[in-house]
A and B are shown apart, each in its own frame.
Chain A
Amino acid sequence: MTRFAIPVVVFALLVGLFWLGLGKDPTLVPSPLIGKPMPAFSMPRLNDPSRALTDADLRGQVSLLNVWATWCVGCRQEHATLLAISKTGEVPIYGLNWKDDSLQARAWLQRLGNPYAAIGVDADGRVAIDWGVYGAPETFLMAPDGTVLYKHIAPLTMEVWEREFLPRIRAARGGQG
């Protein structure tokens, strides 16, 4: 009896493994930054290029860094969600304006509203490479000490915000006392 059971069990295990594999999205590449300190950066601010936005500005609080650009369709999709999140005042959202035209970026914010506490301009994409960005929109969540807690790839939705971000934000605050 076991003679026949072994191949059947092996087959069933393989089917199970492949079934699980099929459900995964190969375009979502897990970030090696999670659990590590955020990369240092210094970018001119979109609304005041004489001042820099640096990683020090994000420290000391739970913060979000949202990678966006006016050429990015997904960023347009998630814009209303970002506005809604910024209205809750839960965490400040910092923007990384990725390989964009600053004039267009400012016009976009004027037209659609500005959810960002501050925005850094990454015109040549170097900061984005340090963060392992490969497609906008991407959103990073950082603890007050600058540790990267979570990365979301694809447009943010309220559902993702409530399911993935809020529990982590509260845990990060709880950890800080």
Chain B
Amino acid sequence: MTRRRLALLLLAWAVGCATPALAIDADEPLPDPDRQALYKRLTHEVRCLVCQNQTLADSTAPLAADLRRELRELVADGRSEDEIKRFLTERYGDFVLYRPRFSARNALLWLAPALLLAGGLVWLYRIVRRRAALPLDDDEEAGGTT
């Protein structure tokens, strides 16, 4: 294989790899740039339930196209972000949002890092207190460390 051929082949391969970069959502942007920004943000935050690790913006599934159409209409209608998220969660549950909202059911999950940190600090404090109350042992006295 000549060098030139190899270069062409590599080029074809690179172009092939780049196809996912083509727009999936090929519709015209909404006339109002704020609304278009909201639409874009929402499609990047809503899960496609057919292919669960993709957002609506990433997915080529027919259901994702339907949901994009639905979102586009709600956004063009002037609905707020909260209203649209409620529309989605009433139908598909919290799982449809990539950034889940705080609720009684997932409160423990949201609060777990703070609780674990607080628990760890209490534990640490008690260990430090207990150690401080112990008499120094021989090594420490002899070594005269700080």
Which residue numbers of A lie inside 8 Å of B, CB to CB?
A: 26-27, 29-33, 99, 124-126, 128-132, 134-135
Contacts and interface: CB of A to CB of B under 8 A. Distances in A.
Range for the number of chain B residues in contact with chain A: 10 to 19
A133 B25 CA distance: 21
Contacts of B63: 125, 134-135
B25 to A, nearest CB: 17
B14 to A, nearest CB: 34
A125 B50 CA distance: 14
B76 interface: no
Interface in B48-79: 49-50, 52, 62-63, 66-67, 70
17 contacts: A29-B49, A29-B92, A29-B95, A30-B93, A31-B93, A32-B89, A32-B92, A33-B91, A125-B62, A125-B63, A126-B70, A129-B67, A129-B70, A129-B91, A134-B49, A134-B63, A135-B49
A110 B36 CA distance: 46
**3 smallest A-B Cβ distances: which pairs?**
A134-B49, A132-B91, A125-B66
Contacts of A27: 52
B93 A132 contact: yes
Contacts of B91: 32-33, 129-132
Give the most central of A126, A131, A132, A135: most B CB within 10 Å.
Answer: A132
Contacts of A26: 52
Nearest to B64: A134
Contacts of B93: 29-32, 132
A128 B91 CA distance: 10
A100 to B, nearest CB: 11
A54 to B, nearest CB: 19
Nearest to B65: A125
Contacts of B90: 32
Given A32-B89, A32-B92, A134-B92, A129 B52 contact: no
Contacts of A99: 62, 66
Interface string B13-54: 000000000000000000000000000000000000110100
A31 to B, nearest CB: 7
B100 to A, nearest CB: 13
Given A27-B52, A129-B66, 17 more contacts: A26-B52, A29-B92, A29-B95, A30-B93, A31-B93, A32-B89, A32-B90, A32-B91, A32-B93, A125-B62, A125-B63, A129-B67, A131-B91, A132-B92, A134-B63, A135-B49, A135-B50
Contacts of B62: 99, 125
Contacts of B89: 32
Contacts of A126: 66, 70
Contacts of A31: 93
Among A27, A124, A125, A128, max chain B CB count under 10 A is at: A125
A29 B88 CA distance: 13
